[in-house]
Amino acid sequence: MKKLFLVLLIASFGLSYSQTIQSKNHATTGFIKPDGTIQNQNHATVGFIKNDGTIQDKNHSTIGYIKSDGTIQDKNHSTVGYIKNDGTVQDKNHATLGFIKNDGTVQDKNYSTIGYAKGVDMYWSAVTFFFFDF
């Protein structure tokens, strides 16, 4: 019974654990919780990414969408960019803006590191680093 309790305790901790967004100097700039809540460095909620791909500001007003094919849209469903399966981030004209690496490193189009989002879904990383200001 003690082992089961320990497993459940560890599992519940993992479900509530936030992923950290960091600058290129490893300074914490924000957090993304497993439920898609986006917080600033002071843990104040600044936005949300819903499971259906809807992106909302802190007041739950829709500001954009992430489509299942990697298309990023604004609130009017106009395409503002793309995130490719390999982590390449592009603007609406398919010009490369940057890259999300498998280890969470975020780079600009010149391959300079601009931040880190270890363990954060690459679509969510692209939204927070390249498309919407929270």
pLDDT for residue 134:
54
Alpha-helical runs (H) found in the chain: 2-16, 122-126
pLDDT for residue 67:
94
- Domain holding 87, by residue range, is 18-131
In a domain, 108, yes or no: yes
Model confidence at 1: pLDDT above 50: no
Mean of pLDDT values over 105-133 = 89
Helix (H) or strand (E) holding 113: strand 113-116
Distances (CA, A) of 121 to 68, 78, 88, 93: 13, 22, 13, 23
User: What is the total count of domains within the chain?
Assistant: 1
In a domain, 6, yes or no: no
In a domain, 10, yes or no: no
3-state secondary structure 70-95: CEEEECCCCEEEEECCCCEEEECCCC
Per-residue pLDDT band for 17 (boundaries 50, 70, 90) equals low
d(C-alpha 55, C-alpha 63), whole Å? 6
More confidently predicted of 74 and 17: 74
